[in-house]
């Protein structure tokens, strides 16, 4: 899977994109707090760093450019200092800005965040949020009509600040009927406004999804993904889109597409103050993947990987083409060693995250493994997978195993969005892992019961619980190897493990 999906990402530099929407300037004032203000019980932040970068539609554009695409942006800003800074920052990041209209009658949208010791203290918003004038609409439509003749995909990034007016939407709808019309991907607070456009893909977050379908957002009885996973028909009908990518914050995203079951991706937890702009990165990755002709599920995996990279960076950030390729190709980190997980686990517990642990050989990855790992991940917030070392597999399975080395198995598993961390172990049982990780839930698959599971008492002594998941009937590595052996004995062509592996992973793509 990782080789196939990485192939789509390698096409990104050939893709031409236009972004239309609300261009903003994101400003970050960072410092430290050592005292309270005398005038009021509020912290005094001693600023020691100031950074500015494009925000809103500008953040979408710079993410696209960082992923290698050829990018143009269309918007209306003020004739002021923030506009100069935003345009300069875009140009420095290889975004073409000839479609940005400067107008003395508007004030450029600016979001200024104040951080103390890495924590967000306040956000100050200013700028014109009313609809652009008829004259500005006409100028923007003229540039839009010229631009879309030479792009593969048009992204609408509508924050509701008056740039994408009804007249602009009508112009986009008219362009949709052209023989040379690009793909259209929409991220908007009010998606119902774009139904007549019949977008290729839309990206609502949970609040926007609920508003679109008039659902309550206060229901906390079930996780968000459970509440929305059965809404495929309703969402596709309400948006008239081919693909709906519903982002659910720390619960990942669910991809809805016509004639295919919903597909879930997973998020790796991060502090909320580090998620600014992650939706823009997801949007950029999704649009480029769709333009590269990835399947909806593959596009979801690419978008999820891109956003996961930026949420672990401070401030509004971008995902580079190189970082995305490394992630999708399964580049390993030191987290494959148990001692390097200690600080990560401490942070998760401090955040109240529910930690799930499972273990196995995962020698030739197949559909049963994928289903099992996705079910295990749904039982908590973080999934850690213990992977048997080569020597321990030989002791358990015999001298002919494993088929794939530990390094290869770790690289394949690291490409799965449902897996948060991998850790190898070389003992015959996972007791040492359990003692070190102290999971909230320990998951095993097969015909075990609580009484026949050797690790059960240790898990419960450490405060965890046991969950037994059934395997998919007829799906096992042993059966795959037996079939290969029988074909060889019969003189038929033998399917090598290298060939079996991508086919068996087809459920991911």
Enumerate the active-site residues: 280
Task: Write the CB contacts of 399 (distance below 8 Å, at least 6 apart in sequence).
Answer: none
Q: What is the helix, strand, coil percentage profile of the chain, to 5?
A: 40, 25, 35
Q: Which of 307, 287, 303 is nearest to 186 (CA)?
A: 287
> Sign of dihedral through CA atoms 476, 479, 483, 485?
positive
**Token reading at 331:** 């580049």
User: Is residue 162 within 8 Å of residue 130, measured between CB atoms?
Assistant: yes
Distance of CA 236 to the CA centre of its chain: 21
Nearest alpha-carbon partner for 384 in 432, 335, 428, 324: 335
Grouping H, G, I as helix, E, B as strand and the rest as coil, residue 311 is helix
How many CB atoms lie under 10 A from the CB of residue 257? 21
Contact 145, 175 (CB under 8 A): yes
d(CA 61, CA 23): 10
Q: Please give the Cα distance from 268 to 281 (Å, whole number).
A: 15
């Amino acid at each position: 899977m990782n080789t196939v999906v990485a192939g789509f990402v390698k096409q990104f530099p050939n893709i031409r994109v236009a972004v239309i929407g609300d261009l903003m300037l994101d400003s970050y004032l960072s410092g430290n707090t050592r005292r309270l203000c005398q005038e009021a019980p509020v912290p005094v932040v001693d600023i020691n760093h100031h950074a500015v970068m494009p925000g809103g539609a500008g953040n979408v554009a710079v993410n696209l450019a960082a992923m290698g695409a050829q990018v143009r942006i269309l918007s209306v800003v003020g004739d002021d200092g923030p506009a100069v800074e935003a345009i300069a920052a875009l140009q420095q990041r290889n975004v073409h800005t000839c479609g940005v209209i400067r107008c003395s009658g508007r004030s450029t949208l600016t979001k200024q965040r104040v951080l103390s010791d890495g924590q967000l203290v306040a956000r100050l918003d200013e700028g014109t949020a009313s609809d652009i004038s008829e004259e500005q609409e006409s100028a923007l439509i003229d540039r839009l009509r010229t631009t879309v003749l030479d792009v593969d995909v048009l992204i609408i990034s509508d924050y509701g600040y008056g740039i994408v007016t009804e007249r602009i939407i009508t112009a986009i709808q008219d362009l949709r009927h052209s023989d040379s019309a690009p793909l259209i991907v929409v991220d908007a607070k009010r998606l119902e406004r774009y139904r007549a456009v019949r977008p290729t893909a839309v990206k609502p977050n949970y609040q926007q999804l609920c508003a679109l379908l008039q659902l309550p957002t206060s229901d906390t009885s079930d996780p968000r993904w459970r509440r929305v996973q059965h809404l495929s028909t309703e969402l596709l009908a309400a948006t008239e889109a081919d693909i709906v990518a519903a982002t659910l914050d720390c619960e990942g995203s669910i991809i809805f597409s016509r004639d295919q079951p919903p597909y879930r991706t997973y998020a790796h937890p991060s502090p909320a103050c580090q998620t600014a702009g992650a939706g823009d990165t997801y949007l950029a990755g999704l649009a480029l993947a769709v333009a590269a002709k990835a399947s909806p599920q593959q596009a979801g995996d690419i978008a999820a990987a891109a956003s996961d990279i930026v949420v672990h960076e401070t401030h509004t950030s971008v995902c580079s083409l190189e970082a995305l390729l490394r992630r999708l190709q399964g580049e390993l980190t030191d987290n494959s060693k148990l001692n390097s997980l200690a600080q990560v686990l401490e942070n998760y517990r401090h955040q109240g995250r529910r930690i799930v642990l499972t273990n196995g050989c995962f020698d030739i990855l197949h559909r049963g493994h994928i289903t099992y790992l996705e079910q295990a991940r749904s039982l908590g917030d973080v999934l850690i997978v213990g992977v048997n070392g080569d020597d321990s597999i030989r002791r358990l399975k015999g001298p002919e195993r494993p088929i794939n080395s530990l390094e290869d198995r770790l690289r394949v598993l690291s490409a799965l969005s449902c897996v948060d961390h991998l850790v190898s172990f070389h003992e015959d049982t996972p007791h040492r892992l359990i003692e070190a990780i102290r999971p909230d839930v320990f998951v095993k698959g097969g015909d075990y019961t609580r009484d026949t599971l050797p690790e059960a008492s240790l898990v419960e002594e450490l405060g965890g619980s046991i969950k037994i998941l059934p395997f998919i009937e007829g799906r096992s590595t042993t059966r795959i190897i037996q079939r290969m052996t029988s074909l060889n004995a019969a003189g038929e062509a033998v399917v090598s493990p290298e060939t079996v592996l991508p086919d068996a992973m087809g459920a991911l793509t």
